[in-house]
Every structure is written in structure tokens, then in C-alpha cells.
Amino acid sequence: MLLNCIDVCKDYYRGKLSVPVLKNVNFQVESGEYIAIMGPSGSGKTTLMNLIGCLDVPTSGQCILNGEDLSRQSSRKMAIIRNRVLGFVFQQADLLPGLTALENVALPLLYRGTGKRERRERAAEMLRKVGLEDRMEFLPNQLSGGQCQRVAIARAIVGAPKLLLADEPTGALDSKSGEQVMRLFRQLNGEGITIIMITHSMEVAREADKILFIRDGVLTEAGEEGIQS
């Protein structure tokens, strides 16, 4: 099992008032699975992603990723897990504007101390994989939104993560670029990458092995009811 979330609760505090946002969330992800998470705005999707993504810790309960309990790690160890085990794709590509596509993709390898030549080779290979071999030396402002998102995907997978986390990766794209990005995720999953993706699109979610539905901080595996709503 790659990920096991056990009775995960997350409260936010407003002054002294605690607001429960995730309520006893339980789910497991096996290596190689493609999981979609759906739910209305404000239901706790990003909060859950932040816990799995080592950007925050649960108020109670455990997230065990790749055998390590994420609620018990130092911030230094969390940063290492983010760099070594996880890849992230968000709604916005958030590329560094002063770096070329190739340099942006190579960045996670720089953080882990890979040498320059290997960084460039690996980054170039990833850009070929996402169909941008002819855009390697372009700056972000010379690329379309869909191309920027494909650069962000290349950056997310350059370190060969065990788990790819995507929070509405097509949310800011036109439908054609969105379809291209979805095809890419399907291809990556076919190559063995485990994916957890937040999406608003039932069409996208149907491609996943499993759909999880979150409402008011309560997570359920979508049955027929969930699919129809």
C-alpha cells in the first residue's frame, strides 16, 4: 500500500473557535492506482491534498505514505519526502518566469543535488514526453497556458515520484488543452505512476480506477448515488 489515511481529522482555528474541516477521513491507495477526488468548493479537497503532500499536518489521525507516518516527521524530512516521493501539479503552472522550460523542469533535480549534465538530460527527456521537445529554450511568457501546464507536469515527474498529486490541473485551461493534459495523465498512469487528482469533471473522474467524493469534510467512495450527482 502506498498511502493509508486513518481517521484523519483537520481543524482550523479562528481565534479560539475550532472549525472541523476534515472529519475522520479514511482511504487507501495502492501503488499504480489512479484516484479521482470530487466535491463542492469548500468541502476540504485542498486541505486533504495538503496533508498528503506534506504541506500541513493532521489535527488527529495518520497519513502513512510509503511506510512513513507524515504526522511525525521534522520539517526537513517533510521537504525531503516532497522532493523524493511526491510530484505536484496545481491549477496554475507557477513556473519561474526567468527560467526556460528546460531549467524549470530541471529545478527539482537541482534541489536534490543532481549534476548539471544529468539534470539537463532528464529534463529534456521529460519535455519530450509531454510533447514540448521544440519548446525547451522558451520562457514561460512565450508559451501558451496549456504548454505551461505541460511544463509543470514534466517538472512534477522529473524526479520519478511514487505519487503524483494534482489539484484541478485543468481548471484554468481551455477544453482542448485540458483534454491534452488529461491524456497525458492517463499515459503517465499507464507507465505506472500513481495519481491522486482533484477534479470537477465527471468525465475526467470516470477515467480513474476509483472516485472518492468529499462533502463537508466527510469522504466516501462514490457509489451510484455519487456518480449521478
Ligand X SMILES: Nc1ncnc2c1ncn2[C@@H]1O[C@H](COP(=O)(O)OP(=O)(O)O)[C@@H](O)[C@H]1O
Q: Which residues bind Mg ion (CB under 5 A)?
A: 45-46
Q: Does 100 bind ligand X (CB under 6 A)?
A: no
Q: Does 146 bind ligand X (CB under 6 A)?
A: no
Sole binder of ligand X in the list 3, 27, 29, 45 (CB under 6 A): 45
The cell 485540458 sits on which residue? Answer: 178
Cα–Cα dist 147/184, whole Å:
12
Instruction: Taking the CA atoms of 205, 208, 209 and 213 in sequence, report the sign of the dihedral they define.
Output: negative
The answer to whether 212 touches 38, Cβ cutoff 8 Å, is yes
- Least separation in angstroms between CB 92 and Mg ion: 12
The answer to whether 156 touches 185, Cβ cutoff 8 Å, is no
Sole binder of ligand X in the list 2, 5, 8, 21 (CB under 6 A): 21
Q: Is 39 left (phi over 0), alpha (psi -120 to 50) or beta?
A: left
Neighbours of 228 (CB within 10 A): 8
- Least separation in angstroms between CB 1 and ligand X: 24
Cα–Cα dist 214/25, whole Å:
9
Instruction: Give the residue nearest to Mg ion (CB).
Output: 46
Q: Does 46 bind ligand X (CB under 6 A)?
A: yes
- Least separation in angstroms between CB 217 and Mg ion: 13
Sole binder of ligand X in the list 30, 42, 77, 183 (CB under 6 A): 42
Q: Which does 162 bind (CB under 5 to 8 A by kind): ligand X, Mg ion, none?
A: none
- Least separation in angstroms between CB 35 and ligand X: 15
Q: In what order do the strands lie in the sheet with 3-14?
A: 17-29, 3-14, 60-65, 68-69
Q: If binding means CB under 6 A, how many residues of this protein chain bind ligand X?
A: 10
The CA distances from residue 155 to 100, 112, 175, 176, in Å, are 12, 13, 22, 21
- Least separation in angstroms between CB 47 and ligand X: 3
Cα–Cα dist 171/104, whole Å:
21
- If the CB atoms of residues 41 and 74 are measured against ligand X, the closer one turns out to be 41
The answer to whether 133 touches 168, Cβ cutoff 8 Å, is no
Task: Name the segment binding ligand X (CB under 6 A); options: 39-47, 130-138, 155-163, 187-195.
Answer: 39-47
- Least separation in angstroms between CB 217 and ligand X: 7
Sole binder of ligand X in the list 1, 12, 112, 191 (CB under 6 A): 12
Residues forming contacts to ligand X in the complex (CB under 6 A) are: 12, 21, 39, 41-47
